[in-house]
Structure 1
Amino acid sequence: MSSASPLPLAADAARTDDAGAARVPLASHPLAPLLLGLAVAALYAWFGAAWHEGRGAWVAGSLLAGLAAAGAARLAAEIAALRQLEHGIHNAREGLLQPTADRGLGWTVAGRLIPEHNKTVEALALMFRTVEDCQVRFLGERNRVTTILQSLPGALLGITDELEVSIANRQAEALFDAGPGALAGRNLFDLLVPDDHGRTLLRDAFLYKQAIRQQELVLQLGGRARHFSISLAFYSDEQDDIGGVMILQDVTEQRLLMETVAMREKLVAMGQLAAGVAHELNTPLGNILGYAQLMRSASTPPETRNGYADVVVAEARRCSRVVQDLLAYARKDSCSGETCDVNQTVRELLDAFIHCRLQRYGIEVEVHLDPDLQLVEGGCGEVDIALTNVMSNAIHALADTAQPRITIRTWAEPAHVAIAVADNGPGVPPEARSRLFDPFFTTKDVGQGSGLGLFISQAVVTRRGGRIDFDAGHAGGACFVIRLPRVDVARVRAA
């Protein structure tokens, strides 16, 4: 029913108050119609005796009057309950989802519908609160996602299955010089002008729905080529349409920076190689200079002078071997098939050091070589480089030691031949041990070392499949152990 055409009410029907809610009807009690009917029947019987000629008509008239009065009262209560229910429906339609009071009319047929109406209103209110909460959460999540997409450092493009742009963030609009929303509906390949490699990559990706992870493309933008890192992923929506999300990151500046850094690294590597050559040549050149000065002495017998000349020749050959080995280190590995006698290399090196530096500094040398022949893979030049650097470091470390001593040992391991060089100097501080093999790191005073000796030695030994270790368990000085791949002597002799 409509509020514009309310139901007509009897004299004792409900009336509406200022708020529109129905008041309690006169016949609100369940017994009211019966009592009213009895009262009307009694009054009729009292006053209506004179209206009827017979007793039967008088009794019948009284009963009919009572029934009419009771029916009118019941009708008024039903109408009041309907008005109350109408008022609740009107409030619900206006969005005021509040319970409707039955006003004591719950015994009527219409009044029994009011609790059901209230349950429906309560369910609707809960539903609306849930919808409102979901809407607030959805709007918050949408704003959060939008903020994330707009704050991405790269250009983001959402692409439909027809290769049209559906979403674009501000970075994408700035990249393609487009206004807000101007990229929507544009074809992807109208925006991107890749090179041949990029065109093939994108074509296969969209054709076979293959994801792309940080592939570099060259795109033409603003009349010039720029480098971009591209990532592409695909998804399916509710209509089973497949779309894609593409992120473009301009890496042109980073690429130029990387090229600059690569060029600087090449220059640094060339400098390190030059420093390495100078470092490795310093020892044999010092020996050559020392023996040349001894040869100039007039008191030197001819036999001794000839021995000095042999040493000079050997050291000159050693210089040449160092240069060749360092150049070979910079080239690609090749299998030479050479082997090196570790014990013999140690003896030759000690002869050069003893006649020159060890005697001059008063350093005692203890040698404990494995009695068996110990061969390692490769030539002896790189073994000489590693041993020379380790020995030179030991000599420097013993500069302030009262009774300096160096101990050299060799022994065989299942897969390696080990060479240990130990001294009784001050040792290596714990904080410096982790950086011993870093380039340009040295514990020597300024001007006393380049910091390349152990770095180059580790590099040449590692290249041969070996390694150099600092023995942290050695007490009373420092100890370095060189391990090189061992060669089976019996197999070599059999060959």
Structure 2
Amino acid sequence: MNVLRRFQGKHVLVFILIDVVLVGCLMATVSSSGGRVLVLLLALLLIWRARLMLRPLQRLQATMRRIIDSGDLSQRIPGQSRDELDAIAGTFNLMLEQLEEHTVELERSRDHLSLLAQITSTSPNAIIMVGGEGWIHVWNSAAEKLFGWPRLEMLGAPFLERVVPEEERELFSALLARASDNEPVEVELSLVTAKAGTIPVQVTLSRILDAMGQVQGHVCIVRDLREYTRLRESLVQSEKMAAVGTLVAGLSHELNNPLGIILGFAQGLLRKPSQDEASRMALLSIEKQTQRCAQLVRTLLDYSRRSSPARERIEVGPLLERVCELAMGQARHGEVSLGIVSSPASLPELEGRVAELESALLNVVGNGLDATPPGGRVSIEARVSPGRDGVELAVRDTGRGIAPDVLQRIFDPFFTTKPVGQGTGLGLSITRSIIESHGGHIDVETVLGAGTTVRLWLPAALVHHTEVSA
């Protein structure tokens, strides 16, 4: 714009000087008044001609001003003459056409980039771009959510050092070298997060090339596999439980026969009046324990069938006393103190099957006794559950506690930390099944070196009102 103004100003000055010189020369040579009039007319003609020549430049200047003010590149300067000024106007129009084409391409590129950015930001999978030098260039919202680090912190950070565990870095580097733009590499491995530690993920790696075919970096699409892993383990667990059900059903029928024979012999000997007191107490103990074993077998059978046995109303106090009586021998053998903490007298009754609840509670108490060293203590406490209509039974021990990796598996069937031959790993699995079948749940709190507390919550029995008719 300033160039046009200078160009226009110089031409006006040149034409004015030419006019002044010509008029001056003519007036000096012409002495008559008629000649002087002719000279003035000639001067006016020259000035008109100069202004006529400058009009294209004025139109060019006005067009540029409108483009600058409005940003509209579709405007053009019409050509009327065939001189140098018209050539300048044509060149300017050609420049405007090329600028307009480039602007349209830039708008399309901007819309395309905006669409890609929206797809990346709204993707449910974590999308990460790693440059050829190993720095992170793209870190979408799903990556922030999955890994726990904000985008601004991760942009420019080294990917391998921040996200890939040390033992997986060599494998990941080999995968980056193997990935191509048309053959992505898919692998399952573990990556590091800010809060959840190392998690299982599925990574799809693709190579990115520029217009010259040079490698710009790699795109990593990361999918969280924690839920998938949990479902897969749950499926395996279901198949295992189906096998357990078949096994338990067969064992239950096989065990019932010898238990029935033992019980029959014990009850037959009890009917003989010649038994002394010591023999009679021993036979009563055999009868009681045999009936308990038979009941446990029936419980296993019910567990395998997922049946709904008939229930009765149960008082909490007598239930705890019977469990303590049954576990007292184990407590004495392990030199562990076992007792019931004084419970409120107004505890609500439970509704369920006594043998099942005794078995569940006895499993928990037995585990506490096994985990407690000599001189320790295992206590049982019952209280009204705060905020819930039910009873909470807590079994506390002063044992060694449970390690975090073991705590995650204590309810798995056949999982046990006891030596071979001293445990089947079914106790807590059956206990949880019994408690949940009664509408309750089980929680475990533990501190390494300080002991474990197992809480069994059970709903109170429904109160049945009897209407008395007048």
Give the TM-score normalised by structure 2.
0.50
Normalized against structure 1, the TM-score is what?
A: 0.48
- Give 1 or 2 for the bigger CA radius of gyration: 1
